Structures are given as C-alpha cells and as structure tokens.
C-alpha cells in the first residue's frame, strides 16, 4: 500500500474564483492599519507601515484585501486611500472588500448592528470616500442584525450595484438559516461567508465529527455549524476564515495561561514546521486550506515578515495523516 505521505491530493475547490477569477488564495486583513482605535489622525508612519505590508503581500501573491468601516475607526481605509492616491495603478492589481453593519455607541444609540438600507448605503459612500475609489469588488455584511429586513438589504444592494459602487455581496458571521433568508430576496448570489475558523476554533469541524455521539452534547450549536458549512459548500459560498492563526497561539505567541493541551499542540506545530522546513504560520493555514470546502484564510498581520511566512501556505498540500495529527492535538481528546 502506498504510504499516506506520498499521496498527492488535489487542491480543494475555490468557489470565489467562479465570480472573481483573479482573487488570491489568501486574503490580507487590514484591521491593524492606521494606528490605534482612537481619534488620533493618520500619520505618515501609519501609511508607510501599510505600504510595507501591502508590498509584502503582493510580492507573495496575495492580492485580495479585507477592510471594514470600523477598523481603527476608519483609519485603515484612510491609509489604503492614501496609497491609492499616491499610486493609482495599485487598484487594478487588487481585489477589494470591505464590511459594514457594526455601529459603535454614539449620540444616536448604544453599540449596535445596523443593516437598514440607509445605513448600508451611507456606509458604502463613506468607505469609498476613505478608500478614494469608485467601487468595491465585495461588500460584506459584518454582523447579523436581528432587525434586518432581507428585502430592504436586497433593495439597497441593487441600488449600489446599479450605480457601479459594489460588484458583489457577501456576509460575515452568519448561519445557514440567515443566509437562506437573505439569499431568497436577492437576484445575485451571496459570494462569501466570513467565519472564525482555526486550529483553536474547532466548532465547525466538531459539528460533523461528533454528530450522533455522546461528545456532541459537550458543546452547543453544532447543528447550526454543520448546516452552515454544508449550505456554503452546496451554494458555492466562499468560506473565509478570520482569526485563522488564533492570535498566534500555535505560532510563537502562546499565552501564559495556556492549557497543557495547547502547549503540546504548539510544540507539535513547531516540530512539524521544522521537519518540513516551513513556517508555523504556513503550516496552520495549510491545515485550514486542506479542507475540501476550499477555505480562504485571512492573514491579519501587518508585519511583512509574518505576511511572507503565511503566504507559503498557498504552496503546500498537507497529507491526510498530518492534518489529523494537528486536529487531534488541538482537539485534546480522542475521536469518537
């Protein structure tokens, strides 16, 4: 019998390319651009740091950017806008997505989610103004709004699309039932669902592995996870993973209060990365990308060296045995 390590498994399908053929396999998350989450102005040093991160990404084959209107209170998008102003040709090299719906507490109300048509359209206008561009390739609805009216969202998107301001729509942090409800009102497919997925956040895997087993009673919400993954795969919705590196837990930033199981998992990642002459970051992202759903991880770092280390994941195909070694180490107890 052929040894498992020698089997060349095909790379998983990547549904977003059916609509945006030039998207990269990884996404650069821009949450840390622009300095702190405060009212201080954008400085030249912030723009220089964003430029260094962007250049590292482009050199490494990462050409899709993930923004949100709340990131550093809009300053992340301002930095990007300044880079576009200085080098307009950059826009043609990038797939640009941003998100809206989260409203921090202000004079009008408490911290809240807002998917009213008025807020969506005003948010897009402000995003485009900060980015200094005419359109977004993708707009994601950042968090589900319990007061959302699907027909109202659909009407807002139709107006934005007709005006050439947004090409495609996606969501973030939504379950299958919410996707179905929204999709029923749209005449264009939802392209993305951005969810927290990593070796430390395993609900999406446990939903299927522990179904119909006593272990399934240990955590709530597994049915929703299983339904959501199956819906996204069947409907061709691109799964994007935020928090894909679990804040560095298994790649050199283990917290002081880490459990023994987490320490052992971090040690295994370090050992496997050294054995394969790969970065720990690449190994962790390759683990996510090995799943047949074609998961697209977000790289949230602004450190050029870390971005380059993450980009190596696009060149890796993880064996089934290695995938399970990492999964079992993170899971910290045997499979059913």
pLDDT, tens only, 115-133: 999 999 999 999 999 999 9
Q: Indicate which residue of 71, 231, 324, 327 is catalytic.
A: 71
Residue 215 has a pLDDT of 61
Q: Give the model's confidence band at 65: pLDDT under 50 very low, under 70 low, under 90 confident, else very high.
A: very high
Q: Give the model's confidence band at 3: pLDDT under 50 very low, under 70 low, under 90 confident, else very high.
A: very low
**Can you list the pairs that 274-279 forms with residues at least 24 positions away whose Cβ atoms lie under 8 Å?**
278/312, 278/316, 279/251, 279/309, 279/310, 279/312
Domain coordinates in residue numbering, the chain:
16-253+288-314
Residue range 128-161, pLDDT digits in tens: 999 999 999 999 999 999 999 999 999 999 999 9
Per-residue pLDDT at 246 exceeds 50: yes
Find the helix or strand (DSSP H, E) in which 100 lies.
Answer: strand 95-100
Write the CB contacts of 265 (distance below 8 Å, at least 6 apart in sequence). Answer: 199, 250, 326, 329, 330, 332
Per-residue pLDDT at 63 exceeds 50: yes
Q: How many CB atoms sit inside 10 A of residue 191's CB?
A: 25
- Give pTM, 2 decimals: 0.93
Share of residues in the chain with pLDDT > 90 (%):
89
Find the helix or strand (DSSP H, E) in which 96 lies.
Answer: strand 95-100
Write the CB contacts of 172 (distance below 8 Å, at least 6 apart in sequence). Answer: 99, 140, 141, 142, 143, 192, 193, 194, 195, 240, 242
pLDDT mean over 39-52 = 97
Q: Quick one: DSSP state of residue 314?
A: G
Residue 4 has a pLDDT of 46
**Superfamily of the domain at 16-253+288-314:** NADP-dependent oxidoreductase domain (3.20.20.100)
Q: Give the model's confidence band at 212: pLDDT under 50 very low, under 70 low, under 90 confident, else very high.
A: low
* Secondary structure tally for the chain: helices H, strands E: 12, 10
Are the beta carbons of 155 and 196 closer than 8 angstroms? no
Catalytic, 71? Answer: yes
pLDDT mean over 202-213 = 82
Are the beta carbons of 90 and 83 closer than 8 angstroms? yes
Q: Give the model's confidence band at 223: pLDDT under 50 very low, under 70 low, under 90 confident, else very high.
A: low
Per-residue pLDDT at 8 exceeds 60: no
The whole-chain average pLDDT of the chain stands at 93
Per-residue pLDDT at 303 exceeds 70: yes
Residue 268 has a pLDDT of 97
Q: Give the model's confidence band at 224: pLDDT under 50 very low, under 70 low, under 90 confident, else very high.
A: confident
Per-residue pLDDT at 105 exceeds 80: yes
C-alpha–C-alpha distance, residues 221 and 314, integer Å: 31
Question: Would you list the DSSP string of 22-53?
Answer: T--SSEEE-TTTTSSSSSPPP-HHHHHHHHHH
Residue 10 has a pLDDT of 43
C-alpha–C-alpha distance, residues 6 and 307, integer Å: 29
C-alpha–C-alpha distance, residues 290 and 323, integer Å: 8
pLDDT mean over 17-32 = 97
- Comparing CA positions, the residue from 215, 247, 292, 335 lying closest to residue 10 is 292
Residue 190 has a pLDDT of 98
> Which structure tokens are listed for 27?
């996404």
Strand partners of residue 299: 28
Per-residue pLDDT at 211 exceeds 50: yes
Residue 226 has a pLDDT of 85
Per-residue pLDDT at 88 exceeds 70: yes
Residue 12 has a pLDDT of 46
User: Which residues of 104-242 form beta strands (DSSP E)?
Assistant: 112-113, 136-141, 166-172, 190-196, 238-242
C-alpha–C-alpha distance, residues 274 and 20, integer Å: 35
> Which structure tokens are listed for 150?
């699907």
Q: Give the model's confidence band at 9: pLDDT under 50 very low, under 70 low, under 90 confident, else very high.
A: very low
Q: Give the model's confidence band at 216: pLDDT under 50 very low, under 70 low, under 90 confident, else very high.
A: low
Strand partners of residue 296: 240
By residue count, the chain amounts to 336
Least confident of 201-205, 213-217, 248-252, 324-328: 213-217
Residue 13 has a pLDDT of 78
Q: Quick one: DSSP state of residue 246?
A: G
């Amino acid at each position: 019998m052929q040894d498992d390590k020698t089997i060349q498994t095909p790379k998983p399908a990547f549904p977003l390319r059916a609509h945006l053929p030039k998207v990269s396999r990884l996404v650069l998350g821009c949450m840390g651009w622009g300095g702190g989450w405060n009212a201080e102005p954008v400085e030249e040093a912030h723009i220089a740091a964003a430029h260094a991160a962007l250049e590292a990404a482009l050199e490494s084959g990462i050409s899709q950017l993930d923004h949100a209107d709340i990131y550093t209170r809009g300053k992340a998008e301002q930095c990007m806008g300044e880079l576009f102003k200085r080098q307009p040709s950059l826009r043609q090299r990038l797939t640009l997505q941003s998100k809206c719906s989260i409203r921090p507490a202000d004079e009008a109300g408490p911290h809240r989610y807002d998917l009213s048509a008025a807020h969506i359209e005003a948010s897009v206008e402000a995003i485009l103004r900060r980015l200094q561009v005419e359109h977004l390739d993708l707009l994601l609805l950042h968090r589900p709004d319990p007061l959302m009216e699907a027909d109202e969202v659909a009407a807002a998107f139709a107006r934005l699309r007709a005006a050439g301001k947004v090409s495609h729509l996606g969501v973030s942090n939504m379950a299958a039932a919410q996707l179905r409800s929204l999709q029923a009102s749209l005449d264009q497919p939802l392209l993305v669902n951005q969810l927290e997925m990593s070796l430390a956040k395993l609900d999406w895997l446990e939903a299927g592995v522990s179904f119909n087993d006593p272990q399934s009673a240990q955590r709530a919400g597994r049915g929703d996870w299983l339904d959501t993954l199956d819906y996204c795969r069947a409907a061709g919705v691109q799964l994007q993973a935020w928090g894909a590196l679990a804040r560095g837990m298994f790649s050199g930033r283990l917290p002081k209060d880490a459990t023994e199981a987490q320490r052992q998992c971090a040690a295994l990642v370090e050992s496997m990365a050294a054995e394969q002459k790969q970065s720990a970051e690449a190994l962790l992202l390759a683990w996510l990308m090995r799943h047949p759903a074609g998961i697209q991880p977000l790289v949230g770092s602004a450190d050029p060296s870390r971005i380059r280390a993450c980009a190596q994941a696009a060149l890796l195909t993880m064996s089934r045995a290695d995938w399970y070694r990492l999964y079992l180490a993170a899971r910290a107890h045997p499979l059913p």
